[in-house]
Amino acid sequence: MRTPQALSHVMPSLLGHTLAGFTVSAAFHRGRPPFRVALAATACALAPDLDWFTGWAGLSEGHDLAHRGISHGLAAVPILAGCFMLLLFRKRLKEPRLWLCLGAATLSHGLLDAWTFGGTGVAFLAPFIDTRYTAAWQPLFVSPLPLSGHLLEWFLFALATELVWLGLPALLIIEGLKRRFDRPQLDREPLVPRETDA
């Protein structure tokens, strides 16, 4: 049985992309985002990794259909976002804010992969340009699959980096948005000049 090339050291864990998707959905809404929007944004943030399964086809790492290829590129952002719009929000296709929300969530996937140390770069400009791009600063580490032996320790370390560099910022952003929108609106009384003694 063929083992896919994509089966080892290829991506951040699902936690990192899930956090990114939910945080994006929160940033586009006042207070807690609607469940369906949060679900769709999270799914968009995870969807590019469907190309992981092309590893079973034995494609070379630089192939457009291989992992971190065309599905991670800028051209795929409106396509994937559009699929979820048609699937979940067919009656809201004329809402640009929702399109931007799902598009930003989709784009977050490639950005996180570019900030991840290990694996191949991201083909942001595929299918027009085959170049794979990585960020100059890569604080995240890939999550190894399958988990066994020392790879389990690596996975826990990679998870810890995501909690620090993604979990904490996500928590701060969500908490900041919550405080901003949950702030009570106090009625402002008109200023009355203070009477002075004669």
Instruction: Round to whole Å and give the CA distance between 36 and 39.
Output: 5
Q: Read off the pLDDT band of 124 (50, 70, 90).
A: very high
Domain layout of the chain by residue ranges: 5-182
Inform me whether the pLDDT recorded for 120 exceeds 90.
Answer: no
Encoding tokens for residue 87? 């699937």
Model pTM?
0.76
Q: Which residues contact 87 (CB under 8 A, 6 or more apart)?
A: none
For the residues 127-134, what does the mean pLDDT come to? 92
Render pLDDT for 37-96 as a digit per residue (tens, 0 to 9): 999 999 999 999 988 777 677 777 777 788 889 999 999 999 999 999 999 999 999 999
Q: Rounding to the nearest 10 degrees, give the CA dihedral for residues 94, 95, 98, 99.
A: 40
Please report which helix (H) or strand (E) contains residue 99, including its range: helix 96-114
